[in-house]
Amino acid sequence: MSDHDTEPATYDVAATEQKWQQVWGELDIFRADDVAVASGQREKRYALTMFPYPSGDLHMGHAEVFALHDVIARYWRLRGFEVLDPMGWDSFGLPAENAAIRNNEHPATYTYANIETQASSMRRYGLAFDWSRRLHTSDPEYYRWTQWLFLKFRERGLAYRKKSPVNWCPHDQTVLANEQVVDGACERCGAVVTKRDLTQWYFKITDYAQRLLDDLDTVADAWPNRVVVAQRNWIGRSEGAHVDFVVEGREEPLRVYTTRPDTLYGATFMVVAADAALAGELVSDAQRAAYDTYRDEIRKASDIERLATDRPKSGVDLGVTATNPVTGEQMPVWASDYVLADYGTGAIMAVPAHDQRDLDFARTFGLPVRRVVDTGEENPEESGVATTGDGVYVASGPLDAITDKATGIRTMIERLQDEGTGQGTVNFRLRDWLLSRQRFWGCPIPVIHCPTCGEVDVPLDQLPVELPELRGADLKPKGVSPLAGAEDWVNVDCPSCGGPARRDSDTMDTFVDSSWYHLRFTSPGHTEGPFDVAKLRLWGPVDQYVGGLEHAVLHLLYARFFTKVLHDMDLLDFVEPFTALLGQGVVINNGKKMSKSLGNGVDLGDQLDTFGVDAVRLTLVFASPPEDNIDWADMSPAGSSKFLQRAWRLSGDVTSVAGSDPSTGDMAMRRVTHRTVHEAQELVESHRFNVMVARVMELVNATRKAIDSGCGPADPAVREAVEVVAVLLSLVAPYTAEEMWERLGHQPSVAQADWPVLDPALLIEDSVVAVVQVQGKVKARLDVAPDIAEVDLEVLAMADPDVVRAIDGREVRKVVVRAPKLVNVVV
RNA sequence: GCCGGAGUGGUGGAACGGCAGACACGCAGGUCUUAGGAACCUGUGCCUUCGGGCGUGGGGGUUCGAGUCCCCCCUCCGGCACCA
């Protein structure tokens, strides 16, 4: 009986998890060392995963993103980088507040209890986080600096208040940013969003629209394409012109934005957004009553109704006319809800022949249609279909000889600029970021409203403005912030004049908190500013960000905006926060999103109890490419568990001693090992983790075979192979890998092991299979030397009996040789 | 409507323009077992007259060679959408 026959065939998963959690805690090996980076001893890598919101325990989605993230962080560590791999919580937000109302508690109770639950689950899950850098956005030490940043933004004119129609969620009783309204409904609760005229705080993200667009190019290669595209669409840059129209009896011209100034000769009327102040200013006395009626009507309509594109056009004649600057014609000015108040100038020139919406409107109200571009298609006046393509300009004065849009637009803009009636300009779809929220559990806005001084900043040395103690019923949404009711808190002396004043009672959108947390992680205890500029210089920017893509135009856009502003404030020296982004898919069950109402949720804790941490992690990593969705019903965690036991068993079979020289070992086994290491490197770096796992499985299979029916368990090549299995598995299944590493006679931890050193000589096979095709179909396989000459390979191939038979005496027209892999005979 | 992706066995998925289906799951058969829901081995795209033929959503094209590149179409997923 050899020693390994008496080993147990399996290991105790639960006991192993207990054991290593303790060892890892004592070793404290995942702490990121500023000095190692500052001294140039090791190159830095910053690996970051989107920090969670603390609602309940971790779920399957967290399990996936953390497993993927950990592969990268652990790989970097093994490759000798100094890795910053921090974790924290995005701990302000509505669910805590709603839970507090339900349970008559303080939101902090719910929040911090959940944080502890999640932190303990993360430890169990075996993640290589540097816990010394933990932060919570709801801690005063953190949100003090969120407030500081707000005031700095305000100082630069990037935070301002304005009254405007805003998105209002009647369920959550708060306003929402444009980005949080999805198909006319609240992103969070699904309630239909309505409009309210409110004075709210905004960040001037539109000032950065062009840079946010341009700099996407610098990350486009390392970000998922769909995020780059989504942001481009969201920013929505368009090129066009402003054109001024003189309105009788009004000093200021009526300015419009158009992308088709070249069709100005075809403009037959004007339309102003019905809900814009401009419409009220323009309307004639005779038409005022009709306009008021119309405006009140459309204000009642929800965004959902407005969004219906096949909705019939409606509007009202404002009873005034504007002068077309090129034709001198008087055109009627209308108001309609198909023109948006907050895009462009809130007014358009209507060219019904060449814009479908204008044509629909013209046909509804019997307004004239004048074709000025002949595209060869039927005249829109008859067909009812507007033409938008290139064509010959007609009845367009100096444009008449022109045959393409680009020249037409350029020519018209030049003329308008010469005459002072218009100019070329750029417009963006992006709107300013509405950041006030009428809720309690968020970062207070550090501004005081004084009846004499107006909006006054809370002095920097008085930050943070801490939340008052409110709980239960006091938190019930009433349409104004619960903070407004905390009289002791709200009523303060004006910092400027000392008179009675009131604090701003709104809190900030939680996306403000998460727009800079990645910077704070570089110096989480810093008390002199939001982060230590020198430390950030060491670690920033994030080298690899991992997270869900539901934030494509939310967090990922806001964080980019913050980065650019802070760059302009000389607080950091990069312009993009996340150099590379990996967007993981969603874990679903039986083809459907997991949800309480469907009752198809898979509980992560249950899965971990049943299969063990490693098996669940392995299953998630092996399931598919990281960015694809995973249907848990199609997965086999039991299979993963079986594989891990199989791999673990190898470590008990090795009979050579630790430190044996592998160079005396079996060459075939060594080649497999080294090829696996080589491929694993490339696969991890290109994020094809599922294939990396497959290669490790192949190595395990090959090693099993070598032990049972090959070079045997004593061969040092077998030890080398099993050690490589342990190191590679440590990226995905750290518990099993530690057990293996220990059984192989090494000191913990495998997380501190050296990445296997590749022997390039072992990557060269001693023979390769050359495929011989006739007419592109495989007819023979030849074992040849990897460095075989093309002529030799061709001779060998043409002599092969199967090849000769396939050619069947036909004339060989051409032979393609790609030594040493392939020959294709064309007959 | 505009802009992006993606369609490969029963399933998840592999495949620098060069052997389609790696690696798994599942299934079938076997070995060893008192037993097998353990371990190990074998087989597993479809058709076949056993020579071979056909196969990567459909149709064309480029190429000695196409899942991969190009064009058209279909389906599904995502983003934008009365944005002038």
CA of A389 to C1' of B72 (A): 21
Query: Which residue has better confidence, A687 or A308?
Result: A687
Q: What are residue A347's phi and psi, to 5 degrees? A: -145, 150
Residues 98-117 of A with CB under 7 A from strand B: none
Complex ipTM: 0.95
Predicted local distance difference test score (pLDDT) of residue A551: 86
Residue A622 Cβ < 7 Å to strand B: yes
Distance of A71 CA from B27 C1′ (whole Å)? 33
């294939």: which residue's tokens?
Answer: A691
By C-alpha distance, which of A150, A53, A32, A147 is closest to A97? Answer: A53
Q: Residue A238 CB closer than 7 angstroms to strand B? A: yes
Secondary structure of residue A793 in the 3-state scheme = helix
pLDDT per position as a tens digit, A37-57: 999 999 999 999 999 999 999
Are A107 and A92 within 8 A, CB to CB? Answer: no
User: DSSP code of A451?
Assistant: T
| Interval A633-643: pLDDT, tens | 999 999 999 99
| Residues A621, A694 contacting (CB under 8 angstroms) | no
Please state, for a pLDDT cut of 90, what percent of chain A lies above it.
78
Q: How far is the CA of A760 from the C1' of B68 (A)?
A: 30
Q: How far apart are CA A31 and CA A132, in angstroms?
A: 7
Window A681-700, strand B contacts by Cβ < 7 Å: 688, 690-691, 693-694, 697-698, 700
DSSP A210: H
What is the pLDDT averaged over residues A101-127?
95
List the structure tokens of A807: 């050619």
Whole-number Cα distances in Å, A468 to A150, A464, A471, A495, A686: 20, 12, 10, 19, 49
**Cα radius of gyration rounded to whole Å, chain A:** 34
What's the rounded mean pLDDT across residues A403-427? 94
CA–C1' distance A636–B16 (Å)?
A: 31
pLDDT value at residue A308: 63
CA distances from A517 to A55, A56, A81, A83, A135 (A): 19, 21, 22, 17, 8
Going across the sheet that includes A630-631, the strands are A592-593, A587-589, A630-631
Is A812 within 7 A of strand B by CB distance?
no
* C-alpha to C-alpha distance for A171 and A174, rounded to whole angstroms: 8
Separation between Cα atoms, residue A817 and residue A692, nearest integer Å: 31
The answer to whether the CB of A546 falls within 8 A of the CB of A592 is: no
- Average of per-residue pLDDT across A234-247: 95
**H or E segment at A291?**
helix A285-300
Query: Which residues 63-82 in chain A have a CB closer than 7 A to strand B?
Result: none
Rounded to 5 degrees, φ, ψ at A338 are -85, -10
User: Separation of CA A423 and C1' B24 in angstroms?
Assistant: 63
| Residue A739: half-sphere exposure toward Cβ, Cα within 13 Å | 24
* Whether A633 CB is under 7 Å from strand B: no
> For strand B, which residues in window 634-653 of chain A come within 7 Å by CB?
634-636, 638-639, 642-643, 645-646
- A window 477-536: Cβ near strand B (< 7 A): none
Whether A705 sits with its Cβ under 7 A from any strand B atom: the answer reads: yes
- Whether the CB of A355 is less than 7 Å away from nucleic strand B comes out as yes
CB neighbourhood size of A301 (10 A):
15
**How distant is the alpha carbon of residue A261 from its chain centre?**
36
User: What phi, psi does A157 have (nearest 5°)?
Assistant: 75, 15
Task: Using the structure, give the distance in angstroms from the CA atom of A700 to the C1' atom of B83, rounded to a whole number.
Answer: 58
Residues 6+ apart with CB under 8 A from A638: A611, A615
Which chain B positions come under 7 Å from a protein C-beta? 3-5, 11-16, 18-20, 22-26, 38-41, 53, 64-66, 78-84
Nearest residue to B79 via alpha carbon and C1' = A230
A318-350 pLDDT, tens digit per residue, is 999 999 999 999 999 999 999 999 899 999 999
Is A388's CB less than 7 Å from nucleic acid strand B? Answer: no
Query: Which protein residue's Cα is closest to nucleotide B78 at C1'?
Result: A226
Mean pLDDT of all residues in A799-827: 88
Whether the per-residue pLDDT at A259 is higher than 80: the answer is yes
Report the pLDDT value the prediction gives residue A185, as an integer from 0 to 100: 81
Q: Rounded to whole angstroms, how far apart are CA atoms A350 and A394?
A: 17
